[in-house]
Amino acid sequence: MKIKDLIKVLELWAPPAYQESYDNSRLIVGNPNDEVEKCIVALDCVEDVVDEAIEVGAQIIVAHHPIVFGGLKSFTGKNYIERTVMKAIKNDIAIYAIHTNLDNVHSGVNYKIASRLGLQNVEILDPKNGLLRKLVTFVPVAQSEKVLNALFQAGAGFIGKYSECSFSLTGTGTFKAGEGANPHVGEIDERHHEQEQRVEVIYPVIYEGSILNALNESHPYEEGAYDLYQIQNKNALVGSGKGGELEESMDEKAFM
């Protein structure tokens, strides 16, 4: 596979949009179109890890912590960061970091630790906000269920542990089709009244592209109207830390 194919799989699991503002989770070194056959996974990508990649013939290192957090203004080998990056470039070894996005995703690092500890009723300690949006569209009543199903399949309608969540309100829409239009209902140059449903769904911003594609493909109108709203609701499945309950109480020293 190519490096970009591997990255696509990783980012479906832990989207870069979930990382913290100070982070640098991304392809740090390497060409996304290069072929990859062997990968090293590490907590930190330092010189010894690059040496191991050279030794075993790996083309990419997937590290938790980014070797570069801020901008580098020179490459003289004066510190381990510059030496690591220079050695990776010289030997055609890519470096990819997947840090706080993997911490924040529901099935990521903290979930794994909580699972190893046997915690029950696990919840995110600090859910992130600003990751959700609301789509509002207007659909003829007869086709509203078809459009809703398409939006749900594309990833809309999840609120916490609930799926297929939406709100609909019936009303009357009007439009006049101009010359050259191909209206689903109504006649050219005549105002048309149509019983429509206002349909609202919440969705993670990372799915916006696929959700808008699903809307356009399922909507019967030639020019379907829709609004997008930024909302501040916290996403209960994305955020920092995990908390839960032990199966039974135990002494603090025994727990440690």
- Looking at the predicted structure, is the pLDDT value of residue 160 above 80? no
Q: How far apart are CA 236 and CA 105, in angstroms?
A: 10
Q: How far apart are CA 66 and CA 28, in angstroms?
A: 8
**Long-range Cβ pairs for the range 74-82 (8 Å, 24+):** 80/46, 80/47
Q: How far apart are CA 3 and CA 39, in angstroms?
A: 10
Per-residue pLDDT, 71: 84
Per-residue pLDDT, 235: 81
**Which pTM value belongs to this model?**
0.76
Per-residue pLDDT, 93: 98
Tens digit of each residue's pLDDT (9 = 90 or more) over 86-101: 999 999 999 999 999 9
On the CB side of 243, CA atoms within 13 Å amount to 7
- What number is the average pLDDT over the span 52-64? 98
63: left (phi over 0), alpha (psi -120 to 50) or beta: beta
Tens digit of each residue's pLDDT (9 = 90 or more) over 199-229: 999 999 989 999 999 999 999 998 889 999 9
% of the chain residues with pLDDT over 70: 100
Per-residue pLDDT, 130: 84
Per-residue pLDDT, 129: 85
